[in-house]
A and B are shown apart, each in its own frame.
Chain A
């Protein structure tokens, strides 16, 4: 029997459908769980927090959702070793919940994905993220290649990683930087980031490697019709590069 994946829906989540579809396309037994039915979460083996908004992101992006009862289950599950993936707003929630990088007590955040730089505007653009850790460092990336490049779309106004200098050092020293922004050819420099994210970070994992927070949306480049060069030919519903992360996640989960 395959492992069951819960795709959490908070009030304002808007990427649950494509997230559910890509997980199912990769063979995952994925189900939506709405905030009013959070008690069901205890019965799942893994959790995915999709993008969008949560509670209108009142106070700060992800701040209220991090204290929602749904997150009690996610935190308990993560502490038992269950796999957790947060994308965009889901990533913001994981940082506010303190699950990522997980170097401080729960719900005591040490970093945030916050206002974009150099101007705090909404940015929607196609990007590439590059695996910056050994694939085995994080359970969700275990089946990716070293330095694998994954296409995705960034769509946020608050995707820039920010933390104190001390905590940024902690992220580097603890090997928490799972993905960095890269150019299409795989090169990495400061111009690859669409938002001046600290250290070029696109995604972070926790100390134990079972929780991953990724700011851009690979599920929005999961089928050819999502990709910028979609007119190049081929079947529009053929898998695109963004599926790689979900394949790794689902296959590791089902082993």
Chain B
């Protein structure tokens, strides 16, 4: 079964913080921001086995600084935009929150991608399906 996992830092993520500060400077009102590396598997085992496999792979996962979760679908979560340069790449997932526990709507996501997170000359933004 096709599955995707999000690997993100459990230690402070300076890149995410810098992106947050810059988005705010651009007038894009984001309360919180999380950055993940998205790893997609074409033929994945059940979620528990997949997490165990990822946690064993030292090229993907460092238990001292990473945490991993299996996504419900092979697509961005609510409030998340995936940025990909080549289709062979692992997307970077930027998950934005309009309030501490409220994922950003697609309008805010599109704004953040257009103004900062995505350079359309070399990258493509993949939005949650509801953006169409």
Contacts and interface: CB of A to CB of B under 8 A. Distances in A.
A67 B121 contact: no
A114 interface: yes
B22 interface: yes
A111 interface: yes
A99 to B, nearest CB: 14
A163 interface: yes
Interface residues of A, number: 21
Nearest to A62: B119
B85 A114 contact: yes
A162 B116 CA distance: 18
Contact of B121 (A55, A56, A107, A164): A164
A115 interface: yes
Contacts of B19: 58-59, 64
A107 B115 contact: yes
A163 B115 contact: no
A56 B116 contact: no
Contacts of A55: 18
B116 A63 contact: yes
> Which of B26, B117, B121 has the most chain A CB atoms closer than 10 A to its own CB?
B121
A172 to B, nearest CB: 15
B15 interface: yes
B14 interface: yes
Nearest 6 Cβ contacts at the A-B interface: A58-B15, A112-B122, A163-B121, A58-B18, A162-B122, A111-B121
Interface of A: 55-56, 58-60, 63-64, 67, 96, 107-112, 114-115, 162-164, 167
16 contacts: A56-B14, A58-B19, A59-B116, A60-B119, A60-B123, A64-B18, A64-B22, A67-B22, A67-B116, A107-B115, A112-B119, A112-B121, A162-B122, A163-B121, A164-B120, A164-B121
